[in-house]
Amino acid sequence: MPRSDSIYIGAVPPYEDCQQVGMPECDYQLAKKESEAYRRQLARQFPKARLVLKSQRHDIGTEYFVEVLFDSEEEMDIAMEVESKLPDYWDEQSLRDFPFLTTTAHKYSMED
């Protein structure tokens, strides 16, 4: 079976804090759970996208992240939509489902 093309999405929403691979305080099981929470959040936002949790071993530890797969032009369009419309922060459902997550959304509030 041919291998799918993919687009790297990331480990967590771009404005959220996450486990830092290679740092002494990094909890790799928690890093994996963070990325799974992100995959599920994206799956709610983009139900037609083929989202997968991937890992990459490095000298300093294992990085976990989400990729969106595509095999056709239609799936590529979906993948491009995911990449261009990523949420900046955790959604309420993620924060409820994964109580270990914390949001940094308040740090960037324009209402201050």
DSSP 22-88: TSTT--HHHHHHHHHHHHHHHHHH-TTSEEEEEEEEETTEEEEEEEEEESSHHHHHHHHHHHHT--S
- The string of pLDDT tens digits covering residues 39-70 is 999 999 999 999 999 999 988 889 999 999 99
Residue 77 structural domain: 5-94
Model confidence at 1, in pLDDT bands (50, 70, 90)?
low
| Number of structural domains the chain divides into | 1
- 103 located within any domain: no
- 107 located within any domain: no
pTM of the complete model beyond 0.85: yes
- 110 located within any domain: no
